[in-house]
Amino acid sequence: MRLTPARKIAIAGTVAIAAAALTGLGIVTAPSSSAATACGVLFDDFNYASRTDAALGGRGWSIRTDSGGPGVSGARWLADNVSFPTVDGQKVAQLKAVTDGTAAGTSHAEFSQRNRRFFEGTYLARIKFADAPASGSDGDHVNQTFYTISPLAAPMDPTYSEMDFSEYLPNGGWGEAGPINYQTTWYTYVADPWYADNQHSQQARSINGWHDVMATVAGGHVKYYIDGALVGDHSGKVYPRQNMSIDFNQWFIDLAGHAGGTGTSTYLQSVDYLYHAKKQVLTPAQATAAINGYRSAGTTFTDNVVAANDCDGGTPPPADGATMLQSNFSGRCIDIPTAQATAGALLQTWDCNDTDAQKWSFPVDGTLRAMRKCMDPAGGALANGTRIQLADCNGNAVQRFTLTAARTLVNVSSGRCVDIKDWVGSNGAALQLWDCAATANQIWGQL
C-alpha cells in the first residue's frame, strides 16, 4: 500500500454516499473458461542484470524515487534499494529497507508495473520474507508487501481499488505484536483524519523464508492463498472496481522498533517471480504448473496482458436459470422473499443461498426471470425510486433488463439501474430504479 501516510487495519460499516459515475471502467466478471486466455498473461522471472538494465523499463517496471508515504515521514525511496542478485541459486528482484532510527537515516524500496491494466484473474508471486535483518539490530516495524492499487481520486473515493495480497510485519506494528501477516481488500479511505473501509484477514505466525503468495479475483470474491492454503475470502463492496498497478515494496511503519537498537539495520525482501493470468481463475496447482512450464522452456519473461476488461467478449449470463446476482456492495443476492413467486412481491437482497428464489435466467426476449415470473418495475413506472418487483411475464418492454459489461443491471426502457435503496447492507434491503452511477450498490456479479 503506497498512498496512506499512516496505515491501520480497520473494517468500517456501511457508508451511505452518492458517488461519481465510473464510466468507462469496463468491469466484468472473470470467466473460468479457456476463452479468457485472450486477455493475456504476465510472467517475469526477474532475470535482469541490474536496476539500470534497459529491459526493466522496457517491460513496464518502474522503481520509485519520489518522496511521501507510506511509512516514516522524511524517509527516502531509493532506486539503489532495488537490485537483482542471485539468491538461493535463482535470480530475484530484491528490495532493501534501511534505518538507523532516524528519518534521515531511513530508506525504503518500491518497484511496480505502473501501467494500470490489472483487475480480475489469478496473481501469484514467490517471495522470500525475512524475520530478522540481514545486518544490524532486530525489532524494527518493517512491512514487506505485494499488492495491487489504483489512485485515490479524493477522500472516500468510491472507485478506489486495492488488494494487499500480503503485508508481512515480522516485528509487528499498528499496535499488533509480530510476526503477523495481513491480506486486505479496500473499498476506500480518508487519509486525515484516518478512516479505513476495508475487509481483512490475518495470520499471527511467522512466514520467514520462501512462500507462494496467490490470489484469485472473480465473481465478486477475492480469495487469498499462502502456499496453496486459502487464508481469506473477501466479497461485497470491497471487490475492486477499476484497473490497478502491481506493486512490491518494503518500508518501515515507524521508528519505534529501533528505540533499543544501535547503528544501522538492513532488511531484505526477495521476489523469485511474478505471474498474472488476466481473467483466468486457476488453482494453486494450475498456476504453479504454468510457471514451471515457462521455466522448463527457458522463458524468463512474457507479457501480453491487455488493458481492456472485455477482452473475451464479456461473459453472457447463462439461459438455464443458474445465475445468482450478488451485490458488490453487500455481498447479498437478489431474492424473492420467502421464495413465494407471487405477482407484486417486492424483491430484496438476502444472503446468497443457491435456492430457486435467487436463480435468474436471461432468455432471448430480454426479460430477467426467476420461478417462472419476471423482474418488473412496479406499476410500469420508470422514475427514480420505482420499486423492483416480481410480476407475471406479459411481453411489456418495461420488463426488459440487461447486465452490462460494467456489471450494472439496466432497465432497458428507462435506462436506469437496479439499485439497493438507501445503501442498506443487511438482509431485506429494498431494490429500486435509480439513475446509473456505477456505485457499489448498483454493481452485480454472477455466482
What are 330-365's pLDDT values in tens digits? 989 999 999 999 999 999 999 999 898 999 988 877
Beta-carbon contacts of residue 320 (< 8 Å; ≥ 6 apart): 361
Q: Tell me, what's the pLDDT at 95?
A: 98
Q: Tell me, what's the pLDDT at 37?
A: 53
Last residue of a domain, one of 303, 334, 353: 303
Q: Tell me, what's the pLDDT at 322?
A: 67
- Same domain, residue pair 373 and 292: no
Last residue of a domain, one of 303, 333, 356: 303
Among 371, 317, 323, CA closest to 347:
371
- Same domain, residue pair 343 and 236: no
DSSP string computed for 124-187: EEEEEE-SS-SBS-S---EEEEEEEE----STT-TT--EEEEEEEETT-BTTBPSSEEEEEEEE
φ, ψ at 380 (rounded to 5°): 70, 10
Residue pair 380/398 in contact (Cβ under 8 Å)? The answer is: yes
Q: Tell me, what's the pLDDT at 312?
A: 60
Summarised one tens digit per residue, pLDDT across range 363-372 is: 877 889 998 8
Q: What's the DSSP call for residue 177?
A: P
Beta strands in 191-243 (DSSP E): 195-203, 209-218, 221-226, 229-235
Q: Tell me, what's the pLDDT at 413?
A: 83
Give percent of the chain with pLDDT exceeding 70.
89
| CA 214 – CA 296 distance, rounded (Å) | 21
- Same domain, residue pair 361 and 406: yes
Three-state secondary structure call for residue 294: helix
Q: Is the dihedral of CA 16, 17, 18, 20 positive or negative?
A: negative
Q: Tell me, what's the pLDDT at 210?
A: 98
Q: In this structure, is residue 8 part of a structural domain? A: no
Distances 18 to 15, 115, 389, 435 between C-alpha atoms, Å: 9, 29, 24, 11
Q: Tell me, what's the pLDDT at 36?
A: 46
Summarised one tens digit per residue, pLDDT across range 271-326 is: 999 999 999 999 999 999 999 999 999 999 999 999 988 776 344 444 445 689 99
| CA 96 – CA 113 distance, rounded (Å) | 18
Q: Tell me, what's the pLDDT at 11?
A: 37
Q: In this structure, is residue 189 part of a structural domain? A: yes
- Same domain, residue pair 333 and 435: yes
| CA 122 – CA 104 distance, rounded (Å) | 39
- When pLDDT is averaged across residues 394-411 and rounded to a whole number, the result is 85
Last residue of a domain, one of 269, 303, 337: 303
Q: Count structural domains, the chain.
A: 2
N residues, the chain: 447
- Same domain, residue pair 169 and 257: yes
Summarised one tens digit per residue, pLDDT across range 101-148 is: 999 999 999 999 999 999 999 999 999 999 999 999 999 999 999 999
Alpha carbons within 13 angstroms on the beta-carbon side of residue 442 total 29
The whole-chain average pLDDT of the chain stands at 88
Three-state secondary structure call for residue 81: helix
Distances 416 to 18, 377, 384, 404 between C-alpha atoms, Å: 15, 11, 8, 12
- Same domain, residue pair 262 and 138: yes
Among 241, 224, 240, CA closest to 232:
224
- What CATH number should be reported for the domain holding residue 211? 2.60.120.200
| CA 268 – CA 168 distance, rounded (Å) | 12
- Residue 8: is its pLDDT beyond 80? no
Q: Tell me, what's the pLDDT at 153?
A: 93
Q: Tell me, what's the pLDDT at 3?
A: 41
- When pLDDT is averaged across residues 377-406 and rounded to a whole number, the result is 89
- Residue 230: is its pLDDT beyond 60? yes
Three-state SS string over 385-397 comes to CCEEEEECCCCCH
- Same domain, residue pair 103 and 250: yes
Q: Tell me, what's the pLDDT at 433?
A: 95
| CA 258 – CA 139 distance, rounded (Å) | 6
Kindly indicate the confidence band of residue 439, based on its pLDDT and cuts at 50, 70 and 90: confident
* Higher per-residue pLDDT: 332 or 27: 332
Q: Tell me, what's the pLDDT at 446?
A: 85
- Same domain, residue pair 88 and 129: yes
Q: Tell me, what's the pLDDT at 21?
A: 29
Alpha carbons within 13 angstroms on the beta-carbon side of residue 299 total 15
| CA 374 – CA 377 distance, rounded (Å) | 10
Summarised one tens digit per residue, pLDDT across range 76-87 is: 999 999 999 999
Residue pair 346/340 in contact (Cβ under 8 Å)? The answer is: no
- Same domain, residue pair 391 and 432: yes
* Higher per-residue pLDDT: 404 or 5: 404
| CA 162 – CA 156 distance, rounded (Å) | 13
- Same domain, residue pair 47 and 110: yes
Q: In this structure, is residue 291 part of a structural domain? A: yes
Amino acid at 365: D
Q: Are strands 107-118 and 373-377 parallel, antiparallel or unpaired?
A: unpaired
- When pLDDT is averaged across residues 361-385 and rounded to a whole number, the result is 88
Q: In this structure, is residue 236 part of a structural domain? A: yes
Q: In this structure, is residue 210 part of a structural domain? A: yes
| CA 314 – CA 248 distance, rounded (Å) | 30
Cα 396 to the chain's mean position, in Å? 39
Q: Tell me, what's the pLDDT at 38?
A: 72
Residue identified by cell 501469484 is 124
Kindly indicate the confidence band of residue 22, based on its pLDDT and cuts at 50, 70 and 90: very low
Q: In this structure, is residue 115 part of a structural domain? A: yes
Summarised one tens digit per residue, pLDDT across range 171-207 is: 999 999 999 999 999 999 999 999 999 999 999 999 9
Q: In this structure, is residue 27 part of a structural domain? A: no
- Same domain, residue pair 81 and 142: yes
Q: Tell me, what's the pLDDT at 445?
A: 87
Residue pair 195/189 in contact (Cβ under 8 Å)? The answer is: yes
- Residue 4: is its pLDDT beyond 60? no
- Same domain, residue pair 80 and 182: yes
Distances 65 to 4, 146, 267, 317, 409 between C-alpha atoms, Å: 17, 18, 18, 46, 43
C-alpha cell at 443: 454493481
Three-state SS string over 308-372 comes to CCCCCCCCCCCCCCCECEEECCCCCEEECHHHCCCCCCECEEECCCCCHHHCEECCCCCECEECC
- Residue 427: is its pLDDT beyond 50? yes
Residue range of the domain that includes 215:
34-303
φ, ψ at 185 (rounded to 5°): -115, 130
Residue identified by cell 505485494 is 146
- What CATH number should be reported for the domain holding residue 383? 2.80.10.50
Q: In this structure, is residue 293 part of a structural domain? A: yes
